[in-house]
Structure 1
Amino acid sequence: MPVSWLILILAALTLGGYIAGRARARASVQGDVRRLHSLPSYYGYNVALFALVPALAVLALWLLAQPMLIDARVSGMIPDTLIPEGSNQSLVMSDVRRVADGLELAVSSGAMSADEVAALDADATDIRARLGEMGVALGSDVRPEVLEAAQAYRAMSSTGTLWMTGVVLVLALAGLAWSYSRTHSEFRARNVVERGVLTLLILAASIAILTTVGIVLSMLFETINFFSLHDWKDFFLGATWAPNFRGDSELSILPLLWGTLYISLIALIVAVPIGLFAAIYLSEYASKPVRAFAKPLLEILAGIPTIVYGLFALLTVGPLLVDIFGRGEEGLLGLNWMSGATSVLTAGVVMGIMLIPFVSSLSDDIINSVPQSMRDGSLGLGATKSETVRQVVMPAALPGIVGAILLAASRAIGETMIVVMGAGAIAKFSLNPLESMTTITTRIVSQLTGDTDFASPETLVAFALGLTLFVLTLGLNILALYIVRKYREQYE
């Protein structure tokens, strides 16, 4: 049975359980709902929860575990001679899954029966042609060993799906029947439902934490594999980034880290003054109609996809900077300092434009949080509006503004598309903002693009770079949250 059908059946059982539980509660008091401990709807919710939640949890776990268990069993059927030299077993398993999906499609469409699939000759010399005659379209010839493994894969999947359907339906019916039998006038349905909802909320809140832990652990394990193949001293203390996939690569993070911090610094130089001045104007000087129009318009910048900013950097800002600083006598200033449109300055300026709404929105909220009594006291002592903003409001809001700037910095450090299209791909140390450089995120994308072998340090280095970037941005976020929290404790 398809999973979509199973979910529809669970939804129908849930709806039926709600209606039945509500009706049974009313019937237990002959329609006088005042004699019930809880509202009738709570009795319906109780039956619906016990019919849906356990069955849905088992379904989700089964769908996650079944492919991994089947892959582990079927992979043992593949001989080592079938694995191409320099490759790994995952490529052969992808062929096995592809053939198994084709066989399952043929069975579901009626082109083949399950017995015909099981009876296919694994020793045939032209399996692809035989399957094609029966309605299974495959892109290449299939080895007999692959067909045998695919047959086993399809059989295990079918058996597992059958068992999953039975277990989930039995669990849903059992939960429905048990909760329905407990429905009577004295049953504290509201307490049970509220505890159940609280458990679901805690579980939902835990998913984000568990996901973060899972991401960190997955990156950590691959980083350990990388450092088992590559010297950590070269990674942290070297001066050259030169992967060549020949075993003699120099994989130092320092040139990438320099490019990342340099571009982020230029972005902050652009974003912080503009965003901060915009926040001061919107919070202290703008009228309500102007603020109601300007603030949403400014925050539209935050909703523009970063790939659009990348195209803007590549097609508009980069050529404009070349016209100003490059092309010798043909340039606007007669200089010849910039040879191409990709540079640190190109990416930094565009990234700064992207960060303006982050700085302005956060700073505006922080400035508005400064108590009005401080402004009134300053104005009452004879200070002007500008003096009040400069000497009272801004010092009071400074810790929160610093936190907002650090959050914007962490956003800049993790940016990818603008850097890919605007900064270039050269890893080096340089103070010239008109030269091309690259960042950590760009190299992560580059190292994991294409036909990668996860047994080489040139690929595994992407996980070491990612973990380093994660630690860097996490530290900035923790520092920003600490500063903002300290500010709130002082003025709330």
Structure 2
Amino acid sequence: MTGEGQVPDLSGERGLRTVRESIYRYALIGCAVLSVLTTLSIIGVLVVDAAEFFSVVPILDFLTGTRWSPNLQPVQFGVLPLLLGTLLITIGSAVVALPLGVLTAIYLSEYASKRTRSILKPMLEVLAGVPTVVYGYFALVYITPALNAVLTWLNGTLGLNLPRLGLFNGLSASIVVGIMIIPMVSSISEDAMSSVPDSLRQAGYGLGATKFNVSTTIVVPAAISGIVSSFILAISRAIGETMAVTLAAGSTPPSIPATSSVFGIPYVSPGDLLGLYADSSATMTVAMINIASGDISGGSTAYQSLFAIGITLFVITLAMNVISNLIAGRYREVYE
């Protein structure tokens, strides 16, 4: 029998178990360190090469220039047209994805049965696994002709004067990128809604609320931190999209629209902004692809502009993720 002052060893093979746990621990630490070093290496490469570019091209000229022409005379490195193209695609895709994603999440969380949810949610998430080049060809071959057919019908039936879309245009690119990011919005939003306690729903039903009222006035506000985080992460994904935008939107940056002023306040007419969607709208990622795959010699200023665009994109997406974390932390509800 064990003495009164002794504690029995119930672990079994304690020495071997300790060795295994140490191996697991150091392996996991190594993976974490490798991830951090990879990120720091990417940042270092971007910063060093971008600094060489900005030593030749002033950063103010880069950020405020209105013409992007890295390999044609006169050479100019104004990133504003590329930033405009990126904003056009991002805003257009957000208009498509955010409402559809939230409505889909509400259906999956509040209306669908467990069996239906188990079938539909994996099918929806399959969209995230489709190669982006497929989305680009889908926009080029199907969406653009379909939109032109609709525009032709509207012009002929209603007497409108809507412009036809070019082969490469921002509207088709916005639609396919919006379809691509729907799974991110719906999945994260549905998880946030599912984490809302049923007691809140039952309290709403007890007060006579309908399922729609409970979904929109109780569940959605309670899950707002997760929903907003899904918005920002999806928008960050749209900003960094490359292949689908390259195939659908083309490689020509949009022209900066002319501005007018009212009482000294400059503005751009909505018609001019909407007209930008009918033409090619190259984004910052498209410009990077063109530079990397073109005949520009390595080490040149034009080649180094690739890293200047990269660091700009990195700062934008980093800011978006920081904002997402701040919003999630500020509005997160903790239930016990």
Report TM bin, short chain.
0.7 to 0.9
5+ long unaligned stretches in structure 1: 1-34, 43-187
C-alpha distance in 2 between matches for 1:289 and 1:422: 37
2: CA distance between counterparts of 1:289 and 1:274?
A: 21
Separation of aligned partners in 2, 1:38 and 1:491: 39
Q: Which residue matches 1:273?
A: 99
- The secondary structure found in structure 2 opposite 1:448 is helix
In structure 2, the CA distance between the partners of 1:365 and 1:406, relative to structure 1 (3 Å rule), is same
Cα distance in 1, alignment partners of residues 152 and 303 from structure 2: 37
User: What residue is the counterpart of 1:373 in the other structure?
Assistant: 199
Distance 1:327 1:391, change over 3 A: closer
**Aligned pairs (5 A) from 1:207-246:** 207-244=34-71
Matches of 1:482 and 1:336 in 2, distance apart? 42
* Mapping for residues 314-353 of structure 1, pairs under 5 Å: 314-325=140-151, 335=161, 337-353=163-179
Post-superposition offset of 1:196: 3.2
Using the alignment, how far apart are the partners of 1:353 and 1:306 within structure 2? 11
* Counterpart Cα distance in 2 of 1:370 and 1:356: 21
For 1:437, the equivalent position in structure 2 comes to 281
Cα pair 1:310 1:419 within 8 Å, conserved: yes
**Residues 60-459 of structure 1: matches in 2 within 5 Å?**
188-244=15-71, 248-325=74-151, 335=161, 337-427=163-253, 428-430=255-257, 431=273, 432=275, 433-459=277-303
Alpha-carbon distance in structure 1 between the residues aligned to 2:35 and 2:100: 34
Letter in 1 for 2:309: L
CA–CA distance in 2 between the matches of 1:328 and 1:279?
33
CA deviations over 1:335-385 (Å, ceiling 9, x no partner): 450252321111001111111111111111011111111111111122121
Deviates more, 1:359-368 or 1:382-391: 382-391
Structure 1 position 334, deviation (Å): 6.8
Partner of 2:268: none
1:327–1:336 contact (8 Å) kept in structure 2 = no
Deviation, structure 1 residue 491? 3.7
Counterparts of 1:317 and 1:362, CA distance in 2? 27
Cα distance in 1 for residues equivalent to 2:17 and 2:129: 42
SS of 1:206's equivalent in the other structure is helix
Unmatched runs of 5 consecutive residues or more in structure 2: 1-8, 258-272
Identity of matched residues, %: 41
Q: 1:465 aligned to 2:309?
A: yes
Deviations 1:305-338 (A, max 9, x none): 1000000011000111222235997899774502
Distance 1:359 1:250 in 2: 38
Q: 1:277 to 1:327 in 2, by over 3 A?
A: closer
Q: Which moved more, 1:319-328 or 1:225-234?
A: 319-328
What TM-score, normalized to structure 1?
0.59
- 1: CA distance, partners of 2:299 / 2:153: 45
Deviation, 1:190, is: 3.6
Report the secondary structure of 1:235's partner residue. Answer: helix
- Contact persistence 2:62–2:77 (CA under 8 A): yes
Secondary structure of the residue aligned to 1:490 is coil
Q: Residues of 1 paired with 2:26 and 2:157: CA distance? A: 66
Instruction: Tell whether the 8 Å contact from 1:327 to 1:339 is kept in structure 2 after alignment.
Output: no
| Letter aligned with residue 341 of structure 1 | L
Where do residues 8-23 of structure 1 align in structure 2 (5 Å cutoff)?
none
Partner of 1:111: none
SS in 1 for 2:293: coil
Tell me which of the two structures has the higher relative contact order, counting C-alpha pairs closer than 8 angstroms and 6 or more residues apart.
2
What letter matches 1:240 in structure 2?
R
User: Per-residue CA shift, 1:58-93, capped at 9, x if unaligned?
Assistant: xxxxxxxxxxxxxxxxxxxxxxxxxxxxxxxxxxxx
User: C-alpha separation between the residues in 2 aligned to 1:425 and 1:397?
Assistant: 40
Figure out how many residues of one structure are paired with residues of the other and give that number.
310
Two-structure CA RMSD over aligned residues (Å)? 2.5
CA distance in 2, matches of 1:220, 1:461: 12
Distance 2:146 2:163 in 1: 13
Tell me which of 307, 321, 328 is aligned to 1:484: 328
